[in-house]
């Protein structure tokens, strides 16, 4: 139960609803920019985004807010209202650390840089995005320095806190060091096993996009996606956006194959299910937002990697794919599809990487973004540093910028400090899925028949409906009995790739 609202909490909750509406509009406009806006609308959209960004910032930094927070903190609030107040104070601290002029400049620069990135990626020419990215890095350094001073954190930790509240850089370093030591031997052992077993048979195409889209929608419905409160579209870089009552899932399809497109949809649907599962009664309040990107990524990777690459679900998917594309023969058999979806290789592209090499992609990006922030790496030198890191960590060198430093949108869109959450999310996904199956051993069999209701019945109360009522650590420990670690993830890799 929560104490009754006071005039101060009433005012803060009303402000939060207005702020949530503005930020929701920004989210839908951002989706439109990345999915369907004509290229000529870029400058106008940049101005719209900058204006709304300033409005949101000024709502959260108005002089009266600090007085209202202080008054509310003197009241005996409990339950969700106490958690809501904590979240408001954290958001207020972040907002007041930077002036509106810097927020406006960053919003405008991000919109312009993202547009430049699209052209650069299409042309595989980093020079087209270099100067806009340099401006992003310059403004990010200013933002990080201001927030570090206000929050008592180092600059990178201050940026990380935007995406993962309370995220610990020393813990990231420790967990990443454990993974960097453990993954290469597993990787080599799996590659040796695959060489002995031979290659899986790839289904022959083409695979018309219309049929892939229809299959993707069917799978989304199977997972529990509600098309009355969301939609599926196509874009250059898959993402999930919008708001909980209007969730926008995007993917990309290639007529040369359906394997990547289907799993991309499943990944983004995991994000969407989390958003739709947030408590309706907390809508518009900070406590009702997703906890942070570690848990968000855990939900997408739990669906994509843990549940939907399981032998049980892949047997179900093989039947659906055969019907969708009129497939027949060995290539369409469940075991062959399992071998395709658990294929390990040294690839260039993060979003297409297997479970074993994916963390190494993230470790590289984390190192590079920290070096860009500190000034140890010049923006002009990013392609060379990227290629060298890929050679060292993954044993491959990208042949061009599109498959190198231009493949991800994050930095060009102003999101620096985000990348570690991908791999932390993979660790959390392994723990959460293991805990779900331990709680309900019938879950794997249900997945084999396309029934996700048992899995969602566990995720809703243990993750989704907790929203931001507690820290990531507290939510994870309550659900799994353990703090975030590498043990469950590494055990999962060995079971799936070496013991099976």
The residue among 459, 242, 204 whose CA lies nearest residue 330 is 204
* Residue 218 CB coordination number (10 Å): 13
* Cα torsion 84, 86, 91, 95: sign: positive
Output the six-digit token pair for 213.
């889209």
Judge contact between 120 and 131, C-beta under 8 A: no
Burial of 101 (0-12, 13-18, 19+ CB in 10 A): exposed
Judge contact between 404 and 387, C-beta under 8 A: yes
Output the six-digit token pair for 135.
């401006």
Q: How far is Cα 492 from Cα 164, in angstroms, rounded to an integer?
A: 24
Q: How far is Cα 488 from Cα 484, in angstroms, rounded to an integer?
A: 9
User: Is 242 strand, coil or helix?
Assistant: strand
Judge contact between 428 and 486, C-beta under 8 A: no
The residue among 66, 48, 63, 57 whose CA lies nearest residue 19 is 57
Residues in contact with 377: Cβ distance below 8 Å, sequence separation at least 6, in sequence order: 368, 371, 385
Q: How far is CA 470 from the centre of its chain?
A: 20
Residue position matching structure tokens 């963390």: 359
Maximum CA extent, the chain: 70
- Backbone angles phi and psi of 240, in degrees to 5: -120, 130
User: CA dihedral defined by 42, 48, 50, 54, rounded to 10 degrees?
Assistant: -170
Pairing state between β 230-234 and 246-251: parallel
User: Is 240 strand, coil or helix?
Assistant: strand
The residue among 239, 316, 325 whose CA lies nearest residue 35 is 239
Burial of 96 (0-12, 13-18, 19+ CB in 10 A): middle
Q: Using alpha carbons, list the distances in angstroms from residue 100 to 42, 96, 104, 163, 311.
A: 22, 9, 6, 20, 52
Of residues 268, 297, 304, 355, which has the active-site annotation? 268
Please indicate whether residue 268 is annotated as part of the active site.
yes
Residues with catalytic function: 268
């Amino acid at each position: 139960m929560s104490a009754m609202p006071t005039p101060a909490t009433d005012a803060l909750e009303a402000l939060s609803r207005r702020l949530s509406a503005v930020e929701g509009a920004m989210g839908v406009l951002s989706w439109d920019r990345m999915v369907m806006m004509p290229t000529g609308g870029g400058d106008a959209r940049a101005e719209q985004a900058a204006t709304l960004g300033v409005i949101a910032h000024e709502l959260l930094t108005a002089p009266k807010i600090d007085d209202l927070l202080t008054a509310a903190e003197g009241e005996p609030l409990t339950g969700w209202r106490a958690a809501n107040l904590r979240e408001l104070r954290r958001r207020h601290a972040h907002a007041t650390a930077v002036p509106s002029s810097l927020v406006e400049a960053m919003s405008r620069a991000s919109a312009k840089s993202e547009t430049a990135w699209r052209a650069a990626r299409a042309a595989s020419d980093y020079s087209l995005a270099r100067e806009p990215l340099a401006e992003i890095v310059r403004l990010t350094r200013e933002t990080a320095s201001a927030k570090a001073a206000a929050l008592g954190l180092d600059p990178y930790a201050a940026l990380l806190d935007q995406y993962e509240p309370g995220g610990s850089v020393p813990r990231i370093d420790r967990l990443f060091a454990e993974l960097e030591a453990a993954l290469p031997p597993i990787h080599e052992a799996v590659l040796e096993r695959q060489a002995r077993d031979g290659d899986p048979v790839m289904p022959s195409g083409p695979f018309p996009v219309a049929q892939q889209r229809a299959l993707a929608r069917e799978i989304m419905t199977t997972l529990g996606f509600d098309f009355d409160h969301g939609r599926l579209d196509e874009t250059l870089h898959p993402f999930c956006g919008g708001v909980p009552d209007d969730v926008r899932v995007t993917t990309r399809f290639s007529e040369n194959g359906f394997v990547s497109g289907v799993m991309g949809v499943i990944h983004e649907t995991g994000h969407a299910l989390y958003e739709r599962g947030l408590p309706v009664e907390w809508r518009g309040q900070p406590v009702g937002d997703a906890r942070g990107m570690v848990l968000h990524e855990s939900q997408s990777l739990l669906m994509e990697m843990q549940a939907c690459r399981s032998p049980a679900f892949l047997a179900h998917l093989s039947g659906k794919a055969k019907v969708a594309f009129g497939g027949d023969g060995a290539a369409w058999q469940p075991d062959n599809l399992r071998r395709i979806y658990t294929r390990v290789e040294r690839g260039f592209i993060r979003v297409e990487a297997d479970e074993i090499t994916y963390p190494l992609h993230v470790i590289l990006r984390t190192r590079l973004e920290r070096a860009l922030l500190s000034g140890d790496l010049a923006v002009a030198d990013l392609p060379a540093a990227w290629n060298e890191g890929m050679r060292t960590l993954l044993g491959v060198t990208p042949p061009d910028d599109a498959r190198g430093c231009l493949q991800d949108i994050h930095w060009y869109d102003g999101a620096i400090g985000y990348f570690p959450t991908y791999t932390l999310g993979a660790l959390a996904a392994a723990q959460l899925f293991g805990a779900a199956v331990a709680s309900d051993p019938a879950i794997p069999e249900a997945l084999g028949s396309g029934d996700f209701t048992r899995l969602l019945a566990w995720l809703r109360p243990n993750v989704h409906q907790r929203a931001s009522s507690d820290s990531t650590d507290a939510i994870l420990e309550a659900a799994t009995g353990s703090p975030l670690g590498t043990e469950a993830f590494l055990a999962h890799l060995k079971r799936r790739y070496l013991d099976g």
